[in-house]
Structure 1
Amino acid sequence: MNQFGEILGRPRLLSRLALASIIANVGIVVTGGAVRLTGSGLGCPTWPRCTEDSYVTTPEMGIYGVIEFGNRLLTFAVGLIALLGVLSALAQRPRRKSLVHLSIAVFLGIPAQAVIGGFTVLSNLNPWVVGLHFLASIAVIAAGYAFWRETTDTGTAAPPAVPAPLRTLAWLTTVVSAAVLVVGTWVTGSGPHAGDQNAKRIDIDPESLSQAHVDLVFLLLGLSIALWFAFRAVGAERAARAALVLIAVELGQGLIGFVQYFTHLPGILVGLHMFGSCLVWLATLAVLWAAAIRRPAAAASPAPTATSPADSDQQTPLAVR
């Protein structure tokens, strides 16, 4: 037992478990999308059982039951990874409360998401509940990302490398990114991929929702470009690289979005767009983290003079002013 605790207490294992949790939660979004896109949303017509008499799928339910039940089984795998993350955080020496709290947040997010998924089935795939189910995954991914980044934190108290106004702009960009995801669920809820032919759709003009979604996407892209220029201006190269990655992911996601719209929403492109939404969210969180990251303690010395080169992520005298 002590040997098992020693293995769980390895910092590298904790970091890998946190990263695995992110990947697993993105995976559950993709498989959940496959359930809806194949019309298997009610493959198991009730919850928590698959049928009134069985917790597992039956041959009479066919491929739709297999797809829906398979997605439910994946929840247990995602939960196991999160549980191992909690145990590893508890086994760290010295134990860090921030890691424990974040690992527990990720773990508790899994059953919460499962319950929302249950209400999704019980509501006969009400589009508002379906959207909430997706957004719950996005929240768990955010907690997982914070957990992963916390495993790399040195715990130093040196000042951040990015000026406060730019950190505020990074937060604003994150809020807009979240808004893009929320409105995106409304667009999907008014579209043709309901998960079942009898499921209700959001009774709002899809064209109007799509236009609102596109407007928010362009706002997000503009903010991302502004961040890239601003980070470069203050010499925050790490944050600038993160912003550039975000811009690239947004452009790729935008291309998929336009193609799927003008090709009348083929299932494969809708699925790729859902995966791309997770990538945009992760890239946004990466920018937020890069803007908030603190310099190593050794770098917290007074600003370099004109004759001494500055570290790429340190504030210049201009940035301090």
Structure 2
Amino acid sequence: MRLPVPESAPLDDAGSRWLRRLFWLNLIVEIGIVLTGGLVRLSGSGLGCPDWPECVSGSLTPVAHQAQTWHKYVEFSNRMLTSVVSIVAVALLVGIILDMRRGSGRKHLWQPVVLILVGIAVQAVVGGISVLMKLNPVIVATHFLASMVLVSASAWLVWRSYEGDGRATPIIRHEVRWLALATSAACAVVLVLGTMTTGAGPHSGDAKEPARLHIAVRTIAWLHADSVMLFCGLVVAMLLCCVLVASEPLPKRAWTLVLIITILQGALGYTQYFLGVPATLVEFHMLGATLLVVAVTWGVLSLRRRD
């Protein structure tokens, strides 16, 4: 299946292909740090470094006498990956500045890059607060949801690299565009209820002092499942609209991808629930969530064209 990205490619000149590769790298590392953060939580290593910004009082790095045993290395490794994400984001900024100095005039790439840079700074603060508050599940959920915003912004940047800098022109009826926004809102609800389900479940992030939401897991899990059913129905409606009224094939490809990921995510979610939420399946479910955010972002963007 071809990636559902615009056919126009203003960065295809030899001097600028590296910039698009950098955009893809940024998307990959943003997804990657979500997964490593998941590993921290699922391995009970959330307080492997019990202090912040230090790992332990008096040291930025783990020390041998820490009580957290191997958990400290898991958490510290995830913190180091934040540095990688930051370096890539700064490289994005430098790359765009150099590209504009070459006279490309691609000013349209500034917005997602600024959002990514600001988001990374906010994420660092929220991550520190989550440690200082002993993995309060509300703060941890906020940390994850902020990561989803960064993944969406990174997907937006990749998409914009395939577009021109002209005025956005809708290629489908405005009613369908409103339906797409409603579908995006439903996706956000699915993510919020998903984080609440995790916060009420066994994977709190700390092996010794679990911090959980005081909600019945069965109740919140079924609410999450109900929101997924609503979202799936909206995705099917979007795909039908794209097949019937879209003037170009791109929206159909984009929303087909959304539907495929949604079905796989739903199947994985039910499987992990009935198997007692094993950590491995939860990690794959988190990967699916990031890919779903990318697909929905592209689905919404596919409904207009920039030349």
- For 2:245, the equivalent position in structure 1 comes to 234
Give the match's secondary structure for 1:148: helix
Q: Which moved more, 1:219-228 or 1:232-241?
A: 232-241
The structural deviation recorded for 1:205 is 1.5
Check whether the contact 1:105–1:143 (CA below 8 A) recurs between aligned residues: yes
Asked if 1 retains the 8 angstrom alpha-carbon contact of 2:123 and 2:146, the reply is yes
1:64 aligns to 2:74 (yes or no): no
Greater RCO, CA 8 A, separation 6+:
2
Matched, 1:149 2:154: no
Tell me, which stretches of 5 or more residues in structure 1 are unaligned? 1-8, 297-321
Say whether the 8 Å CA contact 2:86–2:120 is kept in structure 1.
yes
Q: Report the TM-score, using the length of structure 2 for normalisation.
A: 0.90
SS of the residue 1:60 aligns to: coil
Distance 1:151 1:158 in 2: 14
Judge conservation of contact 1:40–1:65 (CA < 8 Å) in 2. yes
Q: What pairs with 1:1-321 in structure 2 (closer than 5 Å)? A: 10-61=15-66, 62-92=69-99, 93-157=103-167, 159-196=169-206, 197-235=208-246, 236-294=248-306, 296=307
Check the 8 A contact 1:11/1:151 in 2, yes or no: no
Kept after mapping to 1: 8 A contact 2:23/2:92: yes
Output the amino acid matched with 2:257.
V
Show CA shifts across 1:49-89 (max 9, x none). 00001000112333100000000000000111111101111
Q: Distance in 2 between matches of 1:40 and 1:98?
A: 40
Gaps in structure 2 of 5+ consecutive residues:
1-13
CA RMSD of aligned residues (A): 1.5
Deviating beyond 6 angstroms after TM superposition, the runs of 4 or more aligned structure 1 residues are none
- What amino acid maps onto 1:47 in structure 2? W
The number of residue pairs the alignment matches comes to: 287
Q: Secondary structure at the match of 1:59?
A: coil
Letter in 2 for 1:277: A
Please say which structure displays the higher CA radius of gyration: 1
Give the Cα–Cα distance (whole angstroms) in 2 for the partners of residues 172 and 183 of structure 1: 17
Give the % identical residues. 35
Bigger drift between 276-285 and 156-165 goes to: 156-165
Normalized against structure 1, the TM-score is what? 0.86
CA contact (8 A) 2:92 2:113 kept: yes
Shift of 1:158: 6.7
